[in-house]
Amino acid sequence: MSLHNLPNLFRAKVINRPSKTIKSPYVADILLDDGTETLCHTPGLGCSGLVSTGRYIYVSKASGTKAKTSFTAQISENDDSEGTFYIGIHPMVSQLIASKLLNRISSTAVWKSEVKINEHTRLDYVGTTQESKKIYVEVKNAMISNKEPRTSRRAIFPEGYRKSIKDTISPRAVKHAETLTELVNRPDTEEAYLLFIVPRSDCISGLELNKLDPIYCNAVSRALENGVKVLVFGLDFQKDGTVNFNSKLDFHIP
């Protein structure tokens, strides 16, 4: 099922990241297939190597007159022993697609996005049922995987830099899990969900929480024990910009 289309994509090679012109990790120098060298915004930073120097990506023309770059990174091209596959690397695209999948949670609820829950926390989506009960949904984008063969390959979340192994990789993600735990058993709550989007079709074995982040693993475990539900949806990105729903995936806590 087609969920989204990224228009007018161009294949490019990453020459430098950060760019030598704008020394920001969010900007790369790229070489288009027609020989043009230009600047590209990389909204997911290096995506754990998916937008590193020498890699091939697919980019779209930047929108807006104030853009400092000519293009925006959208898809990373990848190869393994089974062939070429593509990974969506723009977090906001996954967020947009998640909104189109909310009907798999409830087709009758009225949904709002970026809802303030308290002074410090927002959740991505809150639905109101016909009975005036709330459905809370927080979306997480999991674009990185382990290195296993496709049949046993799993997306990994969270993944990223931290100063100390005693820290969580994503304090924000921990806070969201804790917030859902607090909300799920309120009298006016219908359901609460963690919705993981895997923007790649090669992770046949599903998604696994990162065992190197026990703080987040424990926060999610507590959420599940209290009634929070987890959904994992895999997407299939193609180099022409077509994004299809791939499958519902298994969820694993190490």
Cβ pair 169, 160 in contact under 8 A: yes
What is the C-alpha to C-alpha distance for residues 23 and 17, in angstroms, rounded to an integer?
8
pLDDT tens sequence across 191-206: 999 999 999 999 999 9
pLDDT band at 108 (very low <50, low <70, confident <90, very high): very high
Cβ pair 245, 4 in contact under 8 A: no
> In 3D, which of 218, 215, 214, 197 has the Cα closest to residue 206?
197
Q: Give the angle 244-246-247 at the CA atoms, nearest 5°.
A: 145
Instruction: Return the biggest CA–CA distance within the chain.
Output: 61
Asked if residue 65 has pLDDT above 80, the reply is no
pLDDT tens sequence across 19-29: 999 988 889 99
Give me the chain's average pLDDT, please: 94
> In 3D, which of 210, 193, 239, 98 has the Cα closest to residue 144?
210
If one compares 221 and 120, the residue with the highest pLDDT of the two is: 221
pLDDT at 165: 80
Instruction: Describe the strand order of the beta sheet including 122-128 as a list of residue ranges.
Output: 2-5, 242-248, 229-237, 189-198, 134-141, 122-128, 110-116
Asked if residue 128 has pLDDT above 70, the reply is yes
Q: Which of 47-51, 164-168, 246-250 has the largest mean confidence?
A: 246-250
Asked if residue 46 has pLDDT above 60, the reply is no
pLDDT at 126: 97
Q: Give SS3 for 146.
A: coil
Q: Give SS3 for 167.
A: coil
pLDDT at 121: 92
Asked if residue 48 has pLDDT above 80, the reply is no
What is the C-alpha to C-alpha distance for residues 195 and 208, in angstroms, rounded to an integer?
13
Query: Mean pLDDT lowest for which of 54-68, 132-146, 173-187, 232-246?
Result: 54-68
First-last CA distance in the chain = 31
* Ordered structural domains, the chain, with CATH: 6-87 (2.40.50.580), 90-252 (3.40.1350.60)
In degrees and rounded to multiples of 5, residue 119 shows phi and psi of -60, -30
pLDDT at 1: 63
Percent of the chain past pLDDT 70, that is, above it, reads: 98
Stretch 124-151: mean pLDDT: 97
Read off the DSSP letter of residue 212: T
